[in-house]
Structure 1
Amino acid sequence: MGKLALAAKITHVPSMYLSELPGKNHGCRQSAIDGHKEISRRCRELGVDTIIVFDTHWLVNSGFHINSYDHFEGVYTSHELPHFIRDMEYQYDGNPLLGDMIAKYASQKNIRIFSHHIPTLQLEYGTLVPMRYMNSDNQFKVISISAFCTSHELSDSLRLGQAVVEAIEEYDGTVAVLASGSLSHRFAYDHIAEKCFNDYTREFDKQMDHRVLQMWKEGKWKEFISMLPEYSINCFGEGGMHDTAMLLGVVGGENYTGKAEIITDLFASSGTGQLNAVFPLQ
Protein backbone atom coordinates (compact mmCIF):
# COMPACT_ATOMS: atom_id res chain seq x y z
CA MET A 1 0.00 0.00 0.00
CA GLY A 2 1.36 3.37 -1.03
CA LYS A 3 1.72 6.48 1.09
CA LEU A 4 0.99 10.14 0.49
CA ALA A 5 3.79 11.80 2.45
CA LEU A 6 3.55 15.52 1.66
CA ALA A 7 1.19 18.01 0.00
CA ALA A 8 1.98 21.64 -0.75
CA LYS A 9 0.99 24.73 -2.69
CA ILE A 10 4.10 26.19 -4.31
CA THR A 11 5.33 29.05 -6.45
CA HIS A 12 7.04 28.57 -9.80
CA VAL A 13 7.75 32.20 -10.72
CA PRO A 14 10.31 32.39 -13.55
CA SER A 15 12.15 35.14 -11.69
CA MET A 16 13.47 32.32 -9.48
CA TYR A 17 15.65 31.31 -12.42
CA LEU A 18 16.52 34.96 -13.06
CA SER A 19 17.49 35.19 -9.40
CA GLU A 20 20.38 32.79 -10.03
CA LEU A 21 21.96 34.95 -12.73
CA PRO A 22 24.37 37.86 -12.30
CA GLY A 23 22.80 41.29 -12.59
CA LYS A 24 20.39 43.59 -10.83
CA ASN A 25 17.95 40.79 -9.92
CA HIS A 26 20.51 38.38 -8.52
CA GLY A 27 19.16 36.84 -5.30
CA CYS A 28 15.72 38.44 -5.65
CA ARG A 29 13.85 35.16 -5.13
CA GLN A 30 16.21 33.43 -2.72
CA SER A 31 13.47 32.93 -0.13
CA ALA A 32 11.31 31.11 -2.68
CA ILE A 33 14.24 28.96 -3.76
CA ASP A 34 15.03 28.18 -0.12
CA GLY A 35 11.39 27.18 0.35
CA HIS A 36 11.64 24.71 -2.50
CA LYS A 37 14.82 23.27 -1.04
CA GLU A 38 13.13 22.86 2.35
CA ILE A 39 10.23 20.97 0.75
CA SER A 40 12.78 18.80 -1.06
CA ARG A 41 14.56 18.11 2.22
CA ARG A 42 11.32 17.00 3.82
CA CYS A 43 10.48 14.76 0.86
CA ARG A 44 13.87 13.07 1.18
CA GLU A 45 13.42 12.53 4.91
CA LEU A 46 9.98 11.02 4.26
CA GLY A 47 11.32 8.59 1.65
CA VAL A 48 9.40 10.09 -1.28
CA ASP A 49 10.13 8.40 -4.61
CA THR A 50 7.73 10.34 -6.86
CA ILE A 51 6.53 13.94 -7.01
CA ILE A 52 3.23 14.73 -8.73
CA VAL A 53 2.93 18.32 -9.96
CA PHE A 54 -0.38 20.00 -10.79
CA ASP A 55 1.01 22.40 -13.39
CA THR A 56 -0.87 25.64 -14.12
CA HIS A 57 1.41 26.29 -17.08
CA TRP A 58 0.19 23.21 -18.92
CA LEU A 59 -2.78 24.66 -20.79
CA VAL A 60 -5.45 22.23 -21.99
CA ASN A 61 -8.75 23.00 -23.69
CA SER A 62 -10.46 19.62 -23.44
CA GLY A 63 -10.12 16.78 -20.94
CA PHE A 64 -7.61 16.35 -18.14
CA HIS A 65 -4.12 15.16 -19.07
CA ILE A 66 -1.23 13.38 -17.37
CA ASN A 67 2.33 13.30 -18.70
CA SER A 68 3.26 9.73 -17.85
CA TYR A 69 6.34 9.38 -20.02
CA ASP A 70 9.28 7.50 -18.49
CA HIS A 71 12.01 10.11 -19.03
CA PHE A 72 12.17 13.87 -19.59
CA GLU A 73 15.24 15.57 -20.95
CA GLY A 74 15.87 18.76 -22.84
CA VAL A 75 16.73 22.45 -22.86
CA TYR A 76 13.86 24.82 -22.09
CA THR A 77 13.28 28.43 -23.09
CA SER A 78 9.99 30.04 -22.12
CA HIS A 79 8.02 31.28 -25.12
CA GLU A 80 6.04 33.43 -22.67
CA LEU A 81 8.99 35.04 -20.86
CA PRO A 82 12.19 34.29 -22.78
CA HIS A 83 13.90 37.22 -21.02
CA PHE A 84 13.36 35.35 -17.73
CA ILE A 85 13.97 31.68 -18.62
CA ARG A 86 16.22 30.60 -21.48
CA ASP A 87 18.40 27.57 -22.16
CA MET A 88 17.47 25.83 -18.90
CA GLU A 89 18.65 22.23 -19.02
CA TYR A 90 16.68 19.47 -17.33
CA GLN A 91 16.64 15.70 -16.95
CA TYR A 92 14.16 13.73 -14.84
CA ASP A 93 12.70 10.24 -14.78
CA GLY A 94 8.96 9.74 -15.00
CA ASN A 95 6.60 7.22 -13.44
CA PRO A 96 4.37 5.69 -16.14
CA LEU A 97 2.86 3.12 -13.76
CA LEU A 98 1.52 5.67 -11.28
CA GLY A 99 0.42 8.04 -14.03
CA ASP A 100 -1.72 5.33 -15.61
CA MET A 101 -3.14 4.39 -12.22
CA ILE A 102 -4.26 7.96 -11.61
CA ALA A 103 -6.02 7.97 -14.98
CA LYS A 104 -7.74 4.68 -14.11
CA TYR A 105 -9.17 5.98 -10.85
CA ALA A 106 -10.15 9.34 -12.33
CA SER A 107 -11.98 7.58 -15.16
CA GLN A 108 -13.96 5.64 -12.57
CA LYS A 109 -15.20 9.03 -11.32
CA ASN A 110 -16.41 9.90 -14.85
CA ILE A 111 -13.58 12.37 -15.40
CA ARG A 112 -12.35 12.63 -18.99
CA ILE A 113 -8.65 12.01 -18.56
CA PHE A 114 -5.75 10.88 -20.72
CA SER A 115 -2.44 9.43 -19.59
CA HIS A 116 0.21 10.10 -22.23
CA HIS A 117 3.45 8.30 -23.10
CA ILE A 118 4.61 10.67 -25.82
CA PRO A 119 8.33 11.43 -26.17
CA THR A 120 7.67 14.85 -27.71
CA LEU A 121 5.23 15.95 -24.97
CA GLN A 122 7.61 18.02 -22.88
CA LEU A 123 7.24 19.49 -19.41
CA GLU A 124 6.11 23.06 -18.81
CA TYR A 125 7.87 25.47 -16.47
CA GLY A 126 5.26 25.05 -13.75
CA THR A 127 6.95 21.68 -13.29
CA LEU A 128 10.47 22.51 -14.47
CA VAL A 129 11.11 25.45 -12.13
CA PRO A 130 10.29 23.65 -8.87
CA MET A 131 12.06 20.49 -10.01
CA ARG A 132 15.18 22.57 -10.67
CA TYR A 133 15.42 23.37 -6.95
CA MET A 134 13.87 20.22 -5.50
CA ASN A 135 15.16 17.53 -7.81
CA SER A 136 18.44 18.61 -9.40
CA ASP A 137 19.96 15.18 -8.65
CA ASN A 138 17.02 13.26 -10.17
CA GLN A 139 16.19 11.79 -6.76
CA PHE A 140 12.45 11.82 -7.47
CA LYS A 141 10.42 10.52 -10.37
CA VAL A 142 8.13 13.18 -11.84
CA ILE A 143 4.52 13.15 -13.00
CA SER A 144 2.99 16.34 -14.41
CA ILE A 145 -0.78 16.84 -14.54
CA SER A 146 -2.38 19.64 -16.56
CA ALA A 147 -3.86 22.35 -14.34
CA PHE A 148 -4.44 25.27 -16.71
CA CYS A 149 -7.92 24.07 -17.57
CA THR A 150 -9.88 26.42 -19.82
CA SER A 151 -13.20 24.56 -20.12
CA HIS A 152 -13.37 22.55 -16.91
CA GLU A 153 -15.20 22.57 -13.61
CA LEU A 154 -13.33 23.13 -10.35
CA SER A 155 -15.44 20.38 -8.82
CA ASP A 156 -13.98 17.90 -11.33
CA SER A 157 -10.48 19.03 -10.42
CA LEU A 158 -11.27 18.40 -6.76
CA ARG A 159 -12.47 14.89 -7.62
CA LEU A 160 -9.32 14.36 -9.68
CA GLY A 161 -7.36 15.07 -6.50
CA GLN A 162 -9.36 12.36 -4.77
CA ALA A 163 -8.48 9.96 -7.58
CA VAL A 164 -4.79 10.77 -7.10
CA VAL A 165 -5.06 9.62 -3.49
CA GLU A 166 -6.79 6.39 -4.50
CA ALA A 167 -4.04 5.67 -7.01
CA ILE A 168 -1.34 6.37 -4.42
CA GLU A 169 -3.01 3.93 -2.03
CA GLU A 170 -2.66 1.18 -4.65
CA TYR A 171 0.87 2.23 -5.62
CA ASP A 172 3.84 0.55 -3.94
CA GLY A 173 5.76 3.67 -2.98
CA THR A 174 5.76 7.09 -1.31
CA VAL A 175 4.50 10.21 -3.07
CA ALA A 176 4.44 13.99 -2.64
CA VAL A 177 1.89 16.22 -4.39
CA LEU A 178 2.54 19.85 -5.35
CA ALA A 179 0.03 22.40 -6.61
CA SER A 180 2.24 24.66 -8.73
CA GLY A 181 0.62 28.05 -9.18
CA SER A 182 0.01 31.47 -7.70
CA LEU A 183 -2.77 32.89 -5.57
CA SER A 184 -4.02 36.03 -7.37
CA HIS A 185 -2.61 36.33 -10.89
CA ARG A 186 -3.40 39.71 -12.43
CA PHE A 187 -0.10 39.85 -14.29
CA ALA A 188 1.40 43.33 -14.37
CA TYR A 189 0.36 45.43 -17.35
CA ASP A 190 3.33 45.94 -19.62
CA HIS A 191 3.78 49.66 -18.94
CA ILE A 192 4.14 48.97 -15.20
CA ALA A 193 6.00 45.67 -15.51
CA GLU A 194 9.27 46.97 -14.08
CA LYS A 195 7.49 48.79 -11.27
CA CYS A 196 5.56 45.66 -10.30
CA PHE A 197 8.49 43.24 -10.41
CA ASN A 198 8.16 42.96 -6.61
CA ASP A 199 4.65 44.30 -6.21
CA TYR A 200 1.00 43.58 -6.92
CA THR A 201 -0.82 44.97 -9.93
CA ARG A 202 -3.92 45.74 -7.83
CA GLU A 203 -4.44 46.47 -4.14
CA PHE A 204 -7.63 44.41 -4.27
CA ASP A 205 -5.66 41.28 -5.12
CA LYS A 206 -3.14 41.94 -2.36
CA GLN A 207 -5.84 42.28 0.26
CA MET A 208 -7.68 39.20 -0.98
CA ASP A 209 -4.51 37.10 -0.93
CA HIS A 210 -3.76 38.12 2.65
CA ARG A 211 -7.30 37.19 3.68
CA VAL A 212 -7.10 33.84 1.91
CA LEU A 213 -3.77 33.10 3.54
CA GLN A 214 -5.29 33.85 6.95
CA MET A 215 -8.14 31.42 6.18
CA TRP A 216 -5.61 28.75 5.27
CA LYS A 217 -3.71 29.32 8.52
CA GLU A 218 -6.98 29.01 10.46
CA GLY A 219 -8.12 25.91 8.58
CA LYS A 220 -11.29 27.47 7.15
CA TRP A 221 -11.42 25.11 4.20
CA LYS A 222 -15.18 24.79 3.85
CA GLU A 223 -15.44 28.56 3.54
CA PHE A 224 -12.48 28.75 1.16
CA ILE A 225 -13.83 26.03 -1.12
CA SER A 226 -17.16 27.85 -1.23
CA MET A 227 -15.50 31.09 -2.34
CA LEU A 228 -12.87 29.53 -4.64
CA PRO A 229 -14.79 29.97 -7.92
CA GLU A 230 -15.39 33.70 -7.26
CA TYR A 231 -11.88 34.21 -5.90
CA SER A 232 -10.39 32.63 -8.99
CA ILE A 233 -12.45 34.78 -11.34
CA ASN A 234 -12.18 38.10 -9.51
CA CYS A 235 -8.46 37.75 -8.76
CA PHE A 236 -7.50 36.12 -12.08
CA GLY A 237 -6.41 32.84 -10.43
CA GLU A 238 -3.60 31.19 -12.35
CA GLY A 239 -4.90 28.41 -14.56
CA GLY A 240 -8.32 28.99 -13.04
CA MET A 241 -6.81 27.74 -9.76
CA HIS A 242 -7.44 24.16 -10.82
CA ASP A 243 -4.17 23.19 -9.16
CA THR A 244 -5.55 24.40 -5.82
CA ALA A 245 -8.81 22.51 -6.32
CA MET A 246 -6.83 19.34 -7.11
CA LEU A 247 -4.69 19.83 -4.01
CA LEU A 248 -7.78 20.27 -1.85
CA GLY A 249 -9.16 17.05 -3.28
CA VAL A 250 -5.94 15.31 -2.27
CA VAL A 251 -6.05 16.49 1.35
CA GLY A 252 -9.75 15.89 1.97
CA GLY A 253 -11.77 18.80 0.58
CA GLU A 254 -14.31 20.29 2.98
CA ASN A 255 -13.42 17.61 5.53
CA TYR A 256 -9.79 18.72 5.71
CA THR A 257 -8.90 20.03 9.17
CA GLY A 258 -5.23 20.91 8.75
CA LYS A 259 -3.81 24.39 9.00
CA ALA A 260 -1.38 25.53 6.33
CA GLU A 261 2.28 25.80 7.32
CA ILE A 262 3.88 28.71 5.51
CA ILE A 263 7.36 27.82 4.25
CA THR A 264 7.88 30.97 2.16
CA ASP A 265 5.85 34.02 3.18
CA LEU A 266 3.43 35.59 0.74
CA PHE A 267 5.28 37.77 -1.77
CA ALA A 268 4.45 39.67 -4.92
CA SER A 269 6.07 38.92 -8.27
CA SER A 270 5.25 40.70 -11.53
CA GLY A 271 1.86 41.67 -10.09
CA THR A 272 0.93 38.23 -8.75
CA GLY A 273 0.69 36.70 -5.28
CA GLN A 274 3.07 33.83 -4.48
CA LEU A 275 4.05 31.56 -1.58
CA ASN A 276 5.20 28.10 -0.56
CA ALA A 277 2.88 26.38 1.92
CA VAL A 278 2.71 22.81 3.20
CA PHE A 279 -0.73 21.34 3.89
CA PRO A 280 -0.25 18.98 6.87
CA LEU A 281 -1.73 15.58 6.21
CA GLN A 282 -4.36 14.06 8.45
Structure 2
Amino acid sequence: MGALALAAKITHVPSMYLSELPGPHFGCRQAAIEGHIEIGRRCRELGVDTLVIFDTHWLVNSGYHLNCAPLFEGIYTSNELPHFIKNLPYAYDGNPALGHLLAEAATQAGIHTRAHEQTSLALEYGSLVPMRYMNSDRHFKVISVSALCMVHNLVDSVALGQAFRQAIEQHYTGKVAFFASGSLSHRFAQNGVSEQFLHKVWSPFLEVMDRRVVELWQAGDWQTFCGMLPEYADKCHGEGFMHDTAMLLGALGWDQYRGQVEVITPYFGSSGTGQINAIFPLE
Protein backbone atom coordinates (compact mmCIF):
# COMPACT_ATOMS: atom_id res chain seq x y z
CA MET A 1 0.00 0.00 0.00
CA GLY A 2 1.00 3.61 0.34
CA ALA A 3 3.60 5.14 2.63
CA LEU A 4 4.47 8.30 4.46
CA ALA A 5 7.98 8.70 3.06
CA LEU A 6 9.18 11.96 4.65
CA ALA A 7 8.08 14.28 7.44
CA ALA A 8 9.49 17.72 8.18
CA LYS A 9 8.99 20.98 10.03
CA ILE A 10 9.72 23.78 7.58
CA THR A 11 9.96 27.54 7.46
CA HIS A 12 7.99 29.71 5.04
CA VAL A 13 9.32 33.17 5.92
CA PRO A 14 8.46 35.68 3.19
CA SER A 15 11.98 37.08 3.36
CA MET A 16 12.97 33.97 1.38
CA TYR A 17 11.31 35.52 -1.65
CA LEU A 18 12.79 38.91 -0.80
CA SER A 19 16.17 37.16 -0.68
CA GLU A 20 15.89 36.45 -4.41
CA LEU A 21 15.42 40.06 -5.42
CA PRO A 22 18.15 42.63 -6.08
CA GLY A 23 18.57 45.01 -3.18
CA PRO A 24 19.89 45.23 0.37
CA HIS A 25 18.47 41.83 1.40
CA PHE A 26 19.62 39.85 -1.61
CA GLY A 27 20.80 36.41 -0.47
CA CYS A 28 19.75 36.90 3.16
CA ARG A 29 17.77 33.64 3.29
CA GLN A 30 19.93 31.49 1.05
CA ALA A 31 20.40 28.88 3.78
CA ALA A 32 16.64 28.46 4.18
CA ILE A 33 16.18 28.24 0.40
CA GLU A 34 18.90 25.60 0.14
CA GLY A 35 17.19 23.71 2.97
CA HIS A 36 13.96 23.58 0.99
CA ILE A 37 15.82 22.45 -2.11
CA GLU A 38 17.47 19.65 -0.13
CA ILE A 39 14.16 18.48 1.36
CA GLY A 40 12.63 18.51 -2.12
CA ARG A 41 15.60 16.51 -3.43
CA ARG A 42 15.11 13.88 -0.75
CA CYS A 43 11.41 13.63 -1.55
CA ARG A 44 12.26 12.97 -5.19
CA GLU A 45 14.83 10.38 -4.19
CA LEU A 46 12.22 8.61 -2.04
CA GLY A 47 9.63 8.55 -4.83
CA VAL A 48 7.16 10.94 -3.19
CA ASP A 49 4.26 11.90 -5.45
CA THR A 50 2.30 14.31 -3.21
CA LEU A 51 3.27 16.93 -0.66
CA VAL A 52 0.70 17.49 2.10
CA ILE A 53 1.32 20.85 3.77
CA PHE A 54 -0.07 21.76 7.18
CA ASP A 55 -0.32 25.48 6.49
CA THR A 56 -0.37 27.86 9.46
CA HIS A 57 -1.46 30.70 7.18
CA TRP A 58 -4.80 29.12 6.36
CA LEU A 59 -7.12 30.41 9.08
CA VAL A 60 -10.30 28.49 9.87
CA ASN A 61 -12.91 29.03 12.57
CA SER A 62 -14.78 25.72 12.32
CA GLY A 63 -13.77 22.20 11.42
CA TYR A 64 -10.70 21.00 9.55
CA HIS A 65 -10.26 21.59 5.82
CA LEU A 66 -8.15 20.41 2.89
CA ASN A 67 -7.64 22.28 -0.35
CA CYS A 68 -7.31 19.54 -2.95
CA ALA A 69 -8.25 21.34 -6.14
CA PRO A 70 -6.89 19.70 -9.31
CA LEU A 71 -4.92 22.84 -10.20
CA PHE A 72 -3.55 25.81 -8.29
CA GLU A 73 -2.57 28.70 -10.52
CA GLY A 74 -2.39 32.45 -10.17
CA ILE A 75 -0.41 35.49 -9.09
CA TYR A 76 -0.07 35.99 -5.36
CA THR A 77 0.49 39.06 -3.21
CA SER A 78 0.50 38.70 0.56
CA ASN A 79 -2.15 40.82 2.27
CA GLU A 80 -0.10 40.49 5.46
CA LEU A 81 3.26 41.55 4.03
CA PRO A 82 2.68 42.96 0.54
CA HIS A 83 6.10 44.60 0.55
CA PHE A 84 7.74 41.18 0.96
CA ILE A 85 5.71 38.98 -1.39
CA LYS A 86 4.05 40.66 -4.36
CA ASN A 87 3.08 39.49 -7.83
CA LEU A 88 4.40 35.97 -7.23
CA PRO A 89 3.33 33.66 -10.07
CA TYR A 90 2.59 30.02 -9.24
CA ALA A 91 1.20 26.87 -10.85
CA TYR A 92 0.96 23.48 -9.13
CA ASP A 93 -1.13 20.35 -9.55
CA GLY A 94 -3.39 19.05 -6.80
CA ASN A 95 -4.46 15.56 -5.81
CA PRO A 96 -8.26 15.51 -5.33
CA ALA A 97 -8.49 11.75 -4.83
CA LEU A 98 -5.98 11.75 -1.98
CA GLY A 99 -7.59 14.84 -0.47
CA HIS A 100 -10.96 13.14 -0.23
CA LEU A 101 -9.37 9.98 1.14
CA LEU A 102 -7.65 11.93 3.93
CA ALA A 103 -10.75 13.94 4.81
CA GLU A 104 -12.93 10.84 4.97
CA ALA A 105 -10.41 9.01 7.17
CA ALA A 106 -10.14 11.89 9.62
CA THR A 107 -13.92 12.27 9.77
CA GLN A 108 -14.34 8.54 10.44
CA ALA A 109 -11.83 8.95 13.28
CA GLY A 110 -14.09 11.59 14.83
CA ILE A 111 -12.33 14.71 13.50
CA HIS A 112 -14.79 16.31 11.09
CA THR A 113 -12.82 17.29 7.99
CA ARG A 114 -13.89 18.60 4.59
CA ALA A 115 -12.04 18.23 1.29
CA HIS A 116 -12.51 21.11 -1.15
CA GLU A 117 -12.01 20.13 -4.77
CA GLN A 118 -14.34 22.35 -6.79
CA THR A 119 -13.26 25.58 -5.14
CA SER A 120 -11.87 29.05 -5.75
CA LEU A 121 -9.76 28.77 -2.57
CA ALA A 122 -6.23 29.88 -3.32
CA LEU A 123 -3.10 28.58 -1.62
CA GLU A 124 -1.65 30.63 1.24
CA TYR A 125 2.01 31.52 1.42
CA GLY A 126 2.69 28.86 4.02
CA SER A 127 2.34 26.54 1.03
CA LEU A 128 3.47 28.80 -1.81
CA VAL A 129 6.87 29.72 -0.40
CA PRO A 130 8.04 26.12 0.16
CA MET A 131 6.64 25.01 -3.18
CA ARG A 132 8.62 27.72 -4.96
CA TYR A 133 11.86 26.02 -3.94
CA MET A 134 10.82 22.38 -3.72
CA ASN A 135 8.42 22.08 -6.63
CA SER A 136 9.13 24.71 -9.27
CA ASP A 137 8.87 22.08 -12.03
CA ARG A 138 5.52 20.74 -10.73
CA HIS A 139 7.10 17.37 -10.04
CA PHE A 140 4.89 16.86 -6.98
CA LYS A 141 1.17 17.16 -6.47
CA VAL A 142 0.13 19.43 -3.62
CA ILE A 143 -2.54 19.36 -0.91
CA SER A 144 -2.90 22.16 1.64
CA VAL A 145 -4.39 21.55 5.10
CA SER A 146 -5.75 24.35 7.30
CA ALA A 147 -3.46 24.70 10.32
CA LEU A 148 -4.23 28.17 11.70
CA CYS A 149 -6.98 26.60 13.79
CA MET A 150 -8.60 29.30 15.91
CA VAL A 151 -10.99 27.30 18.13
CA HIS A 152 -9.56 23.80 17.92
CA ASN A 153 -7.97 21.42 20.40
CA LEU A 154 -4.40 20.27 19.88
CA VAL A 155 -5.42 16.69 20.68
CA ASP A 156 -7.78 16.76 17.68
CA SER A 157 -4.93 17.87 15.43
CA VAL A 158 -2.86 14.98 16.77
CA ALA A 159 -5.71 12.59 15.90
CA LEU A 160 -6.01 14.16 12.45
CA GLY A 161 -2.36 13.47 11.69
CA GLN A 162 -2.69 9.92 12.93
CA ALA A 163 -5.75 9.31 10.74
CA PHE A 164 -4.00 10.78 7.71
CA ARG A 165 -1.06 8.40 8.02
CA GLN A 166 -3.29 5.37 8.53
CA ALA A 167 -5.31 6.30 5.44
CA ILE A 168 -2.16 6.57 3.32
CA GLU A 169 -0.77 3.26 4.53
CA GLN A 170 -4.04 1.36 4.20
CA HIS A 171 -5.76 2.90 1.19
CA TYR A 172 -3.30 4.86 -0.98
CA THR A 173 -0.91 3.43 -3.55
CA GLY A 174 1.70 6.19 -3.65
CA LYS A 175 4.19 7.93 -1.39
CA VAL A 176 3.48 11.14 0.50
CA ALA A 177 5.44 13.75 2.46
CA PHE A 178 3.98 15.72 5.37
CA PHE A 179 5.24 19.22 6.07
CA ALA A 180 4.42 21.26 9.16
CA SER A 181 4.79 24.72 7.65
CA GLY A 182 5.26 27.17 10.50
CA SER A 183 7.70 28.72 12.91
CA LEU A 184 8.75 27.88 16.44
CA SER A 185 8.19 31.06 18.48
CA HIS A 186 6.24 33.57 16.42
CA ARG A 187 6.33 36.95 18.10
CA PHE A 188 6.78 39.41 15.24
CA ALA A 189 8.98 42.43 15.81
CA GLN A 190 7.09 45.51 16.90
CA ASN A 191 6.08 47.91 14.14
CA GLY A 192 8.75 50.54 13.62
CA VAL A 193 11.68 48.33 14.62
CA SER A 194 11.14 45.35 12.30
CA GLU A 195 14.24 46.12 10.23
CA GLN A 196 16.38 45.78 13.36
CA PHE A 197 14.99 42.28 13.92
CA LEU A 198 15.30 40.95 10.36
CA HIS A 199 17.76 38.30 11.59
CA LYS A 200 16.84 38.23 15.27
CA VAL A 201 14.32 36.61 17.61
CA TRP A 202 12.10 39.01 19.53
CA SER A 203 13.40 38.23 23.02
CA PRO A 204 16.09 36.17 24.77
CA PHE A 205 13.35 34.16 26.51
CA LEU A 206 11.82 33.07 23.22
CA GLU A 207 15.17 32.21 21.68
CA VAL A 208 16.25 30.16 24.70
CA MET A 209 12.96 28.26 24.66
CA ASP A 210 13.19 27.59 20.93
CA ARG A 211 16.76 26.35 21.15
CA ARG A 212 15.86 24.06 24.02
CA VAL A 213 12.97 22.66 21.98
CA VAL A 214 15.35 21.90 19.10
CA GLU A 215 17.62 20.10 21.57
CA LEU A 216 14.66 17.97 22.72
CA TRP A 217 13.84 17.15 19.11
CA GLN A 218 17.42 16.16 18.33
CA ALA A 219 17.56 14.01 21.47
CA GLY A 220 14.23 12.34 20.66
CA ASP A 221 12.70 13.41 23.97
CA TRP A 222 9.10 13.48 22.75
CA GLN A 223 7.60 12.73 26.14
CA THR A 224 8.93 16.07 27.37
CA PHE A 225 8.13 18.03 24.23
CA CYS A 226 4.59 16.71 23.76
CA GLY A 227 3.87 17.34 27.42
CA MET A 228 4.97 20.96 27.15
CA LEU A 229 3.58 21.71 23.67
CA PRO A 230 0.28 23.37 24.73
CA GLU A 231 2.04 25.75 27.13
CA TYR A 232 4.96 26.32 24.76
CA ALA A 233 2.58 27.20 21.92
CA ASP A 234 0.75 29.63 24.20
CA LYS A 235 3.59 31.37 26.00
CA CYS A 236 5.96 31.46 23.04
CA HIS A 237 3.37 32.64 20.48
CA GLY A 238 3.57 29.43 18.43
CA GLU A 239 2.48 30.04 14.85
CA GLY A 240 -1.00 28.73 14.23
CA PHE A 241 -1.01 27.69 17.92
CA MET A 242 1.36 24.98 16.60
CA HIS A 243 -1.44 22.85 15.20
CA ASP A 244 0.87 22.05 12.29
CA THR A 245 3.37 20.50 14.70
CA ALA A 246 0.63 18.56 16.49
CA MET A 247 -0.59 17.18 13.15
CA LEU A 248 2.93 16.15 12.18
CA LEU A 249 3.62 14.45 15.49
CA GLY A 250 0.22 12.75 15.39
CA ALA A 251 1.31 11.11 12.15
CA LEU A 252 4.58 10.05 13.74
CA GLY A 253 3.18 8.57 16.96
CA TRP A 254 2.94 11.63 19.25
CA ASP A 255 4.78 11.05 22.53
CA GLN A 256 5.61 7.46 21.54
CA TYR A 257 7.69 8.69 18.60
CA ARG A 258 11.38 7.96 19.05
CA GLY A 259 13.00 9.66 16.07
CA GLN A 260 15.87 12.10 16.49
CA VAL A 261 15.39 15.15 14.30
CA GLU A 262 17.90 16.01 11.59
CA VAL A 263 18.36 19.76 11.27
CA ILE A 264 18.66 20.77 7.61
CA THR A 265 18.69 24.57 8.06
CA PRO A 266 19.93 25.56 11.53
CA TYR A 267 17.65 27.63 13.75
CA PHE A 268 17.56 31.30 12.80
CA GLY A 269 15.72 34.49 13.70
CA SER A 270 13.54 36.24 11.14
CA SER A 271 11.61 39.46 11.84
CA GLY A 272 11.42 38.45 15.50
CA THR A 273 10.33 34.83 14.91
CA GLY A 274 12.23 31.57 15.36
CA GLN A 275 12.64 29.39 12.27
CA ILE A 276 14.06 26.04 11.18
CA ASN A 277 14.04 23.36 8.48
CA ALA A 278 14.20 19.92 10.09
CA ILE A 279 13.45 16.37 9.00
CA PHE A 280 11.67 14.03 11.44
CA PRO A 281 12.96 10.53 10.63
CA LEU A 282 10.33 7.88 10.04
CA GLU A 283 10.36 4.77 12.19
Distance 1:167 1:116 in 2: 18
Residue deviations 1:216-253 (CA, integer Å, cap 9, x gap): 01001111011000000000000000000000011111
Shift of 1:21: 0.1
Q: Which residue number corresponds to residue 253 of structure 1?
A: 254
Q: Secondary structure at the match of 2:215?
A: helix
Residue deviations 1:79-122 (CA, integer Å, cap 9, x gap): 00000000000000000111101111101111121111133111
Distance 1:256 1:230 in 2: 20
Matches within 5 A, 1:115-154: 115-154=115-154
Distance 2:128 2:153 in 1: 26
Q: Which residue number corresponds to residue 224 of structure 2?
A: 223
The letter of the residue matching 2:246 is: A
Distance 2:112 2:78 in 1: 28
How many residues are matched?
282
Q: Secondary structure at the match of 1:166?
A: helix
**Structure 1: where are the runs of 5+ without partners?**
none
Distance 2:280 2:3 in 1: 15
The letter of the residue matching 2:249 is: L
Q: Which residue number corresponds to residue 200 of structure 2?
A: 199
Distance 2:137 2:64 in 1: 29
Q: Secondary structure at the match of 2:265?
A: strand
Q: Which residue number corresponds to residue 243 of structure 2?
A: 242
**Residues 1:26 and 2:26 are matched in the alignment:** yes
Q: Secondary structure at the match of 1:211?
A: helix
The letter of the residue matching 2:71 is: H
Q: Is the 8 A contact 1:54 1:145 kept in 2?
A: yes
Residue deviations 1:15-53 (CA, integer Å, cap 9, x gap): 000000000000000000000000010001001100000
TM-score (norm 1): 0.99
**Residues 1:65 and 2:62 are matched in the alignment:** no
Distance 1:113 1:49 in 2: 22
Q: Secondary structure at the match of 1:27?
A: coil
Q: Secondary structure at the match of 2:58?
A: strand
Distance 2:60 2:248 in 1: 18
Shift of 1:143: 0.3
Distance 2:113 2:173 in 1: 22
CA RMSD of aligned residues (A): 0.6
- Give me the identity figure in percent: 61
Q: Which residue number corresponds to residue 264 of structure 1?
A: 265
Distance 1:226 1:45 in 2: 34
Q: Secondary structure at the match of 2:195?
A: coil
Q: Which residue number corresponds to residue 191 of structure 2?
A: 190
**Residues 1:232 and 2:255 are matched in the alignment:** no
TM-score (norm 2): 0.99
The letter of the residue matching 1:186 is: R
Q: Secondary structure at the match of 1:138?
A: coil
